[in-house]
Amino acid sequence: MRKTIWRVVLTGSLLVLPEIALLRPQDKNARPKKPQPAQSAPEQSAATAQQSEALARIRIDSNLVILPVTVKDARGNLVPDMLREEFRILDDGIEQKTAVFTAEAFPLSLVILIDNDLKAKDTVMMGNSLRAAAGGVSSSDEAFVCRFDQFFYPGPGFVLNGDELMAELKQARVDTKPSEAGPVPFVKGPSWHTRGVGEPSVAAATHAGGKATKTLDDAIFASAEILHDRGSGRRKVILVISDGANGEKFNHHSYDDVRQVLLRDNISVYSVAIGNSLLKSKYARLTKYADDSGGDVYFASRSRTMERFYSQITEQARHEYTLAYVPAGNDKGSSYHKIEVLVDRPGLTVRTRQGYYTGPPNPAAKP
């Protein structure tokens, strides 16, 4: 969900800005940025110490609700100069005291989840773009490459540098095959036969339509399980590259099951939605996961567009504020708590997860 002006709803994360700047082409028409005054050595030392203290508290205080927050202006540009006092946090409608505030970049734990059952054209487009997905991964990050169709195919494990990730993505490109499913035939009833002389006509055959057999929900659930044990000092992100098709009846986990796990472990879902469809409803599942978890969706119809989106997603996820608080006065009788963030500065849009769960997870999978 997006709310502009003063209403804000928060987001999850991805990669580091100095590296991303090198990956993105220079805009010849861009206005030169106003130089920022250099910090003195004491100021830099104090800022570093403050960020280290914030990160240390996040890692040790299990009572904190941690909120990665992305802030953009009306043009969609990231806003890097927000102050602690400009944010307000509401938990079940009750204002909370911000215990931790930092703009420090956290290391990333990333699952790249690749759709293994795309149309031939989309498969080629996606494959040609994959090399760019490794470009923004820093030395402090870790990435795990997985694929899915009706089943989930995890890679060998987390890789810790760009060269290893590039090798995994190349292998995923080899393993990903275009869908060979033919057109859905016209349906004829079991008693269909050539009409005899004088026999009354029957209703015309109908087209059954294409029903997806892919298990997107299960794939995101399995990806979340991979991220479950990564520490609270890391950003947990699932990057889905897919056309958004999901065969709900083939999944063992419902959307609510998956949403619950994502929110419990503070995992954000970002998506690059592939295809030329003008029907946004086709990508509804991807959009719901992004809105609920604080991620985002980018729509791509060409390889070069996808390559650019990888960098944009990386930049957006990296440039986050971290707010954390110990809940007080909220509805203790509920296992789900709604989060809302307000800012004093007008004209801004903020994304984050929309809530969180307390208590043990209860993802009841279908047999």
For residue range 276-330, list pLDDT tens digits in order: 766 678 899 999 999 999 998 888 877 777 887 887 787 777 778 999 999 999 9
pLDDT at residue 183 is higher than 50 = no
Is 16 a domain residue?
Answer: no
Question: What's the confidence (pLDDT) of residue 139?
Answer: 82
Is 3 a domain residue?
Answer: no
Q: What is the largest CA-CA distance in the chain?
A: 99
Specify the number of domains making up the chain: 1
Q: 309 versus 50: which is more confidently predicted?
A: 309
Question: What's the confidence (pLDDT) of residue 109?
Answer: 92
pLDDT at residue 358 is higher than 50 = yes
For residue range 118-145, list pLDDT tens digits in order: 888 888 888 888 888 887 778 888 999 9
pLDDT at residue 14 is higher than 60 = no
Percent of the chain beyond pLDDT 90?
A: 43
For residues 249-271, give the mean pLDDT: 94
Is 58 a domain residue?
Answer: no
For residues 162-177, give the mean pLDDT: 84
pLDDT at residue 195 is higher than 80 = no
For residues 207-217, give the mean pLDDT: 68
Report helix angle 284-293 to 216-227, nearest 10: 30
- Which amino acid belongs to residue 186? F
Q: If you compute the radius of gyration of the chain from its CA atoms, what whole number of angstroms results?
A: 23
**Interior/surface letters 16-51, b for 16+ CB within 10 angstroms, e for the rest:** beebbeebeeeeeeeeeeeeeeeeeeeeeeeeeeee
Question: What's the confidence (pLDDT) of residue 51?
Answer: 62
Is 292 a domain residue?
Answer: yes
Is 52 a domain residue?
Answer: no
pLDDT at residue 205 is higher than 90 = no
**CATH number (domain holding residue 224):** 3.40.50.410
Confidence of residue 366 (pLDDT cuts 50, 70, 90): low
Is 69 a domain residue?
Answer: no
Percent of the chain beyond pLDDT 70?
A: 73
Question: What's the confidence (pLDDT) of residue 122?
Answer: 87
For residues 200-224, give the mean pLDDT: 68
Please list, in sequence order, all residues whose beta carbon lies within 8 angstroms of the beta carbon of residue 131, skipping any fewer than 6 positions away.
166, 169, 170
Q: What is the H or E stretch that residue 249 is in?
A: none
Is 86 a domain residue?
Answer: no
CA angle 291/292/296 to nearest 5° reads: 30
Is 143 a domain residue?
Answer: yes
> What residue numbers bound the domain in which 166 lies?
108-177+211-317
